[in-house]
């Protein structure tokens, strides 16, 4: 909040309305506009009105609010644009490809074969490295939540996971939305 002068931040100006944008929603905490270089038509940027660069600077309350907003905007996109899903995306930090100095949450309408390249290519990791990652990470996560984490001495071998199949329940929910239901 102190590292960037909000006076110089384009996204603060978009959020406050000083710079015009194609706005689809606004309340006291966020402004939602169309991305001017959309991955697909209807690509939304959810811009917090408070200047924050990355998620760790945000209050938990605001993070939770962004989650709620994402859900409602996804519903609206699916209903209004007859798309079949949404990708919800945050580039959190320069290493993750973040270019804006202001935290942005992207909601991207998705359809089969829409050419949007957000696939995560499956990498390879061995059992030992996975255990090392868990040993480093789980205590840190516990500390973050204020709980003590006790790791078992030996980890059971992790089953090689199958490629993710579409979850039928989710598809049913989207079909319901398209049909105008809840
Ligand atoms: Zn800003």
Instruction: Tell me the pLDDT tens digit for each residue of 154-166.
Output: 555 556 566 655 5
Mark whether 134 and 112 lie in a shared domain: no
pLDDT at 3: 47
Residue whose token pair is 């039928």:
168
pLDDT at 6: 62
Give the Å distance between the CA of 91 and the centre of ligand 1: 15
The DSSP H or E segment spanning 76 is helix 60-81
Reference 116, options 40, 46, 167, 181; nearest CA is 40
Collect the ranges in the chain with pLDDT lower than 70. Answer: 1-6, 153-171, 174, 178, 180-182
Residues across the chain: 182
pLDDT per residue as tens digits for the range 74-102: 999 999 999 999 999 999 999 998 999 99
Mark whether 50 and 85 lie in a shared domain: yes
pLDDT at 165: 58
Give the Å distance between the CA of 169 and the centre of ligand 1: 38
pLDDT at 67: 95
Mark whether 142 and 110 lie in a shared domain: no
> Please, what is the end-to-end C-alpha distance for the chain in angstroms?
38
pLDDT at 154: 59
Q: What is the CA radius of gyration of the chain?
A: 20
Mark whether 53 and 12 lie in a shared domain: yes
Give the Å distance between the CA of 82 and the centre of ligand 1: 32
Mark whether 86 and 47 lie in a shared domain: yes
Give the Å distance between the CA of 101 and the centre of ligand 1: 7
Range of the domain at 148: 126-177
- For the chain, the domain total comes to 2
pLDDT at 176: 74
High-pLDDT (> 90) share of the chain, %: 65
Mark whether 19 and 68 lie in a shared domain: yes
Mark whether 46 and 136 lie in a shared domain: no
pLDDT at 159: 61
Q: Give CA–CA dist 2/146, Å, rounded.
A: 27
Q: Give CA–CA dist 48/67, Å, rounded.
A: 12
Give the Å distance between the CA of 33 and the centre of ligand 1: 15
Give the Å distance between the CA of 52 and the centre of ligand 1: 6
The answer to whether the beta carbons of residues 174 and 78 sit under 8 Å apart is: yes
Give the Å distance between the CA of 165 and the centre of ligand 1: 39
End residue of a domain, out of 119, 137, 165: 119
Please state whether 134 falls in left (phi above 0), alpha (psi between -120 and 50) or beta: alpha
Give the Å distance between the CA of 11 and the centre of ligand 1: 5
The answer to whether the beta carbons of residues 110 and 134 sit under 8 Å apart is: no
Ligand 1 (ion): which residues have CB within 5 A? 9, 11-12, 51, 102
């Amino acid at each position: 909040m102190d590292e960037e002068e909000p006076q110089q931040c384009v996204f603060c100006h978009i959020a406050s309305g000083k710079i015009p944008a194609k706005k689809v929603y606004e309340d006291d905490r966020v402004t939602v506009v169309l991305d001017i270089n959309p991955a697909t038509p209807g690509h939304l940027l959810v811009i917090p009105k408070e200047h924050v660069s990355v998620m760790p600077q945000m209050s938990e309350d605001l993070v939770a609010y962004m989650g709620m907003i994402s859900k409602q905007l996804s519903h609206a996109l699916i209903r209004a644009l007859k798309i079949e899903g949404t990708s919800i995306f945050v580039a959190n930090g320069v290493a993750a490809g973040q270019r804006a100095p202001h935290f942005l949450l992207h909601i991207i309408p998705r359809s089969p074969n829409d050419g949007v390249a957000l696939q995560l290519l499956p990498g390879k990791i061995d059992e030992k490295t996975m255990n090392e990652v868990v040993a480093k990470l789980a205590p840190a996560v516990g500390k973050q939540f204020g709980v003590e984490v006790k790791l078992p001495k030996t980890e059971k071998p992790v089953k090689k996971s199958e490629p993710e199949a579409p979850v039928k329940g989710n598809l049913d929910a989207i079909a319901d939305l398209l049909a105008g239901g809840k």
